[in-house]
Amino acid sequence: MQAAPRAASGSRASSAGVKVSLTHQQGGWGTPVARSISIAQRLSPPHSGQRSGSIGGGGCVGMAGEGRVLCYGRRVIRFAIVAAALAATAAQAQIPRSTPVRVPDTLAARVQACTACHGEQGRATPDGYFPRIAGKPAAYLHNQLRHFQAGRRQAVGMTSLLDHLDDAYLGDIAAHFADLHLPYPPPAPAQGTPEQRARGERLVRVGDPSRNLPSCNSCHGERMTGVQPAIPGLLGLPRDYLIGQLGAWQTGMRRATAPDCMAVIAQRLSGDDVSAVASWLAAQPLGADARPLDRLPAPLPLRCGSDLGGVR
């Protein structure tokens, strides 16, 4: 659905975002204090003719000055726009027009929509659920954005933000975060028993040949910081996120380009294996150089799909 060329009086619409200015006073309506609601198009590139899609498909609402983002669906958006327009019209008869918040027309400004979940500059935190995306290989990030669009990964909020973006722009977003090589915070406190973490370390470093389980570092690199061009690092990620992704591969909720080697590996893991591996990985600190390796010293232990950009 195309954004209207002009919003109601006192509001502004543009290719970079639909903005509805509201005025309010603490404790009630009155003194104009500018509040701007930006409906999902924070991510949208300012190309002429770019299809918005956000109003029709849902997304997130950023509350300027409050650091809050609310996610919504089609009906909620329509209701919110109508209510905001009516409120603004009524307020204009009594108070001066407020000025919309203006966002710089840069990629860094547009991807602020990503940081609501993934943290400032994509750093995230080690004790939440959302993964760090800063510094991950660009081809890996690009592939994941494609998977969300295609339904191979499941997250309503991600799909709503991405469904109107073209592939070239997804690549721009991926390259932006891949270039952010920022320090990692200390890991979260270790969870699980010492025996459980020891089991996890064995699986990460050695694997289990009796079950044809390769070690994690045979694909993700000796330091577990990933490998160019498209294999992600596994350190600095929350334990719950790691468990969730391995579980998603086990159940088919997360998929990659066939042959999906991670799905094969995940389905060979027991529930105790998953918990042990995630507990050990989440408790490991990262060294000063957490950049992905340029290459692996040996071929991958399993045949994997084209996601890996030719790495074999």
Task: State the pairing for strand pair 12-14/17-22.
Answer: antiparallel
Of all residues in the chain, the percent with pLDDT exceeding 90 is 54
Q: Which domains does the chain have, with CATH numbers?
A: 12-104 (no CATH), 111-308 (1.10.760.10)
Q: What is the pLDDT along the chain (312 residues), one digit of tens a residue?
A: 434 333 333 333 333 333 333 333 333 333 333 333 343 445 666 554 443 333 334 444 343 344 444 444 444 444 545 555 555 555 555 555 678 888 788 999 999 989 989 998 888 877 778 999 999 999 999 999 999 999 999 888 898 899 899 999 999 999 999 999 999 999 989 998 999 999 999 999 999 999 999 999 999 999 999 999 999 999 999 999 999 999 999 999 999 989 999 999 999 999 999 999 999 999 999 988 899 999 999 999 999 987 775 443
pTM given for the model: 0.69
DSSP string, 95-107: SPPPPPP---SSH
Cα(25)–Cα(69) distance, rounded to whole angstroms?
Answer: 21
Q: Given phi > 0 = left and psi -120 to 50 = alpha, else beta, which region is 40?
A: left
> Which pLDDT belongs to residue 71?
46
What b/e sequence results for 9-26 when a residue is b if at least 16 CB atoms lie within 10 Å of its CB, and e otherwise? ebbbbbbbbbbbbbbbee
What b/e sequence results for 42-52 when a residue is b if at least 16 CB atoms lie within 10 Å of its CB, and e otherwise? bbbbeeeebeb
Cα(247)–Cα(105) distance, rounded to whole angstroms?
Answer: 39
> Which pLDDT belongs to residue 229?
94
